[in-house]
Amino acid sequence: MDWHDHHKAGWLRRACRRSIIRSGDTYTLPSDIKTRAENATVIQRPNAILDGGGHTISGAYAAVFVKGTQHVTIRNLKTERVSISVYLINSNYATITNNEFHSATFAVHILESAHVTVEHNTFT
């Protein structure tokens, strides 16, 4: 799946033009992402699962930006040296679990969102 297919699906990758591995609604990072982009990844698709696969996103303002959607899961992701690890705005029923957030100004920033579960994460 190339970048344009992700764009049509509502999954935008700003910093990483490499392929994200997709299986159904699950998107897995194939490698670490180092960027200076504002948002490394943007999720606007309902029911999407971002599985970091243990990989790290570093250098972005927001490692993961979720806007205007619902039932999104972010798991198995590492972030370091970002301003915001996960930025959730106007998105309901999200789950943020089993992640490692290092050296972030805000690990998880939630605005105008309800029913958000944040569990089993490491913050340093």
**Cα 3 vs. chain centroid, distance in angstroms?**
16
Q: What is the mean pLDDT of the chain?
A: 87
Distance in angstroms (rounded) separating the CA atoms of residues 79 and 54? 10
110 band by pLDDT with thresholds 50, 70 and 90: very high
pLDDT given at position 109:
97
Provide the domain limits for residue 31. Answer: 3-123
DSSP string spanning the chain?
--HHHHHHTTEEESS--SPPEEETTEEE--S-EE--SSEEEEE-STT-EEE-TT-EEES-SEEEEEES-BS-EEES-EEEEEEEEEEEES-BS-EEES-EEEEEEEEEEEES--S-EEES-EE-
pLDDT given at position 24:
94
| Burial bucket for residue 13 (CB in 10 Å: 0-12, 13-18, 19+) | buried
pLDDT in tens, 7-49: 434 444 444 545 688 899 999 999 999 888 788 888 999 999 9
**Total tally of structural domains belonging to the chain:** 1
Residue 48's Cβ-side half-sphere holds a number of Cα atoms within 13 Å equal to: 26
- % the chain with pLDDT above 70: 85
pLDDT in tens, 76-94: 999 999 999 999 999 999 9
